[in-house]
Amino acid sequence: MKKNKLIIILLISLLILSCKSADSLNKKDNFNIQKLKSKKLNIGATIGLVSPASLIKEKHLHESIRNLEALGFKVKYNNEIKSKYGYLAGPDSLRAADLNQMFADDEIDAICAVRGGYGCARMLDLIDYELIKNNPKIIIGYSDITSLLYAIYKKTSLVCFHGPVGTSTFNEYSVEHLKNILVTPKENYKMANLPEDRNNIVTINPGKAKGELIGGNLSIVVSMIGTEYDIDSKDKIIFLEDIGEEPYRIDRMLTQMKLAGKFDNCSGVALGVFKNCEIDKDDPEFEESLTLLKIFKDIFGDLEIPVVYGLSFGHIENKFTLPFGVEAKLDADKGSITLLEKAVR
């Protein structure tokens, strides 16, 4: 009898240990690990230009150099940046090697994509994530660069930045946010639309939320679902934007995210500007379509999380810079995002 009790006790102990181990694995799967931060960017630092997606023209390169030098930075790039492979800026292996080399180069302090387009996803399996982890640097971009940010953050925990590319409009508003996050970082840094853009903000679900920021271009975020580069949305603030997608496509992609459980346990959702995604009122198809606002209310209206539409990020001139993995507060009533910690060290 005592022997049987001892066996039962041992079995229970093993079961408890296995549960703890499973819980530990789940935490790793949920990416609850120490985030990695790059050094802050000093004026005069060297920024490496890369073209990890669509091919670039000479004018794109010159525009990027001019924009970054005007901000007080030096610029460096490799000749591979001018390569062409159909609609891509060179074969996947070449684009990945160029990115890896930028992380390995001690002269490079930060990395900026010249433009987006398409192609980053094709090279994700060729990136040296261990190299990146050992040489953490600021990397910034948006649009198709979203998949690159997802992969690097997922594989290395490096805080990446959803912000301007080299050919973006570096106006006073965008530069202010960029510098206040990368050059002179501040805690409790609040980002809100310009007064003239505040009328564009619509509160879908009221309230405030805290959580780490993840997200980017909706089309790309959806394409990450089911891959090893997808990021767990639990307790995260998801930010989304897009361009040139008809309302039914926005509907389809958000529905996919909802069916995949992405909104089940996230903290909140921040929707940026969905440029050229509405059907014009003069278009005959207008009467047979749904507005974006109606779609957002249909998708998010039954969720008990704060959701706001119209924040200043996306394919627009006035851009927030949003750091992946940084703890933030979303105020869906006032239409603002506040970074609760510095994104660089």
Catalytic center residues: 143, 241, 315
Closest by Cα among 317, 304, 315 to 263: 304
- Kindly list the strands in the beta sheet with 138-141, ordered across the sheet, starting from the edge strand earlier in the chain: 74-76, 46-50, 110-113, 138-141, 161-162, 322-323
Question: Coil, strand, or helix at residue 179?
Answer: helix
Question: Coil, strand, or helix at residue 345?
Answer: coil
Buried b (16+ CB within 10 A) or exposed e, 296-306: bbebbeebebb
Cα–Cα distance between 284 and 8 in angstroms, integer?
A: 73
SS3 content of the chain, % helix, strand, coil (to 5): 40, 20, 40
Closest by Cα among 209, 253, 262 to 233: 262
Query: Sign of torsion, CA 306 311 313 319?
Result: negative
Query: One-letter amino acid identity for 75?
Result: V
Closest by Cα among 211, 209, 188 to 31: 211
